[in-house]
Amino acid sequence: MSDAKDFSFKGVMTALVSPFQKGALDVASFKKVLRHQIDHGIQGFVVNGTTGESPTLRLEEVKDLLKLAQSEVSGQVPVLLGTGSNSTHKTLEMTRLAADLKADGALVVTPYYNKPPQRGLREHYLTLAKAVEIPIILYNVPGRTAVSMTPETVHELSRHRNIRGIKEASGNLNLLQELKSNSEEDFVFLSGDDESSVDFCLQGGDGVISVLSHVIPKEFVSLIDRAREGDASAASEFEKYKKLCQWLFVESNPIPVKMALYKMGLIASPEMRLPLVSLDVDKITDLQQVLDEVFQ
> Which residues are tagged catalytic?
139, 167
In 35-49, which positions are buried (b, 16+ CB within 10 angstroms) versus exposed (e)? Answer: ebbbeebbbbbbbbb
Distances in Å between the Cα of 266 and the Cα atoms of 33, 51, 168, 214, 294 are: 6, 16, 28, 10, 16
Tell me the torsion sign for CA atoms 18, 86, 143, 140.
negative
Do residues 45 and 72 touch, judged by C-beta distance below 8 A?
A: no
Q: Report residue 17: phi and psi, to 5°.
A: -70, 160
Cα distance between residue 81 and residue 278, in whole Å: 25
Helix axes 88-100, 118-131, angle to 10 degrees: 30
Tell me the torsion sign for CA atoms 119, 120, 125, 131.
positive
Do residues 61 and 23 touch, judged by C-beta distance below 8 A?
A: no
Residue 200 corresponds to which amino acid?
Answer: F
Beta bridge partners of 25: 20
